Amino acid sequence: MSEVLLSRDGHVATITLNRPDRLNAISGPMLVGLARMLVECDADREVRVVVLTGAGRGFCSGLDLQDVASGQGIGSGGGEGGGDGGAGGFRIDDTPPFVLRRLDTPVLCALNGPAAGYGMDLALGCDLIVASDAASFVPPTRRGVIPESGGTWLLPRLVGWQKACEITFLGRKLGADDMQRLGLVNLVVPHADLDPTVADWAQELAAQAPLAIKAAKRTMRLGLDTTFDANAHHVMAELTGLFRTKDFAEAVNAFMEKRAPDYQGR
């Protein structure tokens, strides 16, 4: 059975990490499969939302330490590790957390359980997170490594320097309530309500104007690394293009006719 699954429901694509017996610990094939599926979904004009989740009771427990201990897998210096002790023989910017940064399609994380180390970075790299009350974050510093897949860049921007240091240096487990208090997730729901809540969010996202959502994501992402003036010029360039789309005309017509718009992504 594939270690990463892809399913489609209308404009929503769901990618599921599928090693439930290992709490979806990351293997080399998972890195390749997940990155490939993310890129394929972003290139598919019919996909307006990507949902990322894990099979079983965990989201992703990070690097597979059982494989590392046996001399195999990512970070072991052998096997899938390719002898580099790091990204496992893969180009670092081709791994999923870095691919996520380049995607224009919104990615909604359905955080169904524990996310540790790499799994925590992977979840934080998504645009929106709806978490089960059984979910948790565990930084990797107590395992002798650092958040290597975006966490050290993301956390200070999400929670500020001092809180990022507290989370990273102490390595304490963050429960669902802690994650919501810190603003690391959008919403926490009872575990039984996770799937229907994520489905509702995904359908609401899919009903939005897809070109505008992608443009908004691009401009906000660029805004993290540019000056206000530079970002403002980029926003105006995006806006000029959006004014010419059929979706904008549909939005105006729907407003005048007092009905819900039917966006086509054109």
In whole angstroms, give the CA distance from residue 94 to residue 211.
Answer: 25
Which class does domain 4-206 fall in?
alpha beta
pLDDT at 143: 76
Tokens 């096997």 sit at which residue?
79
31-45 mean pLDDT: 95
Torsion of CA 11, 12, 18, 20, to 10 degrees: -150
What's the pLDDT tens digit per position in 167-213?
A: 999 999 999 999 999 999 999 999 999 999 999 999 999 999 999 99
Query: Among positive and negative, which fits the CA dihedral 83, 15, 36, 120?
Result: negative
Residue type, 221: R
In whole angstroms, give the CA distance from residue 45 to residue 114.
Answer: 32
What's the pLDDT tens digit per position in 82-129?
A: 434 445 556 777 788 889 999 999 999 999 999 999 999 999 999 999
3-state class (DSSP) for residue 197: helix
Predicted TM-score (pTM) of the model is 0.88
What's the pLDDT tens digit per position in 125-175?
A: 999 999 999 999 999 887 777 777 788 899 999 999 999 999 999 999 999
Instruction: Tally the residues of the chain.
Output: 266
> What residues does each domain of the chain span?
4-206, 210-257
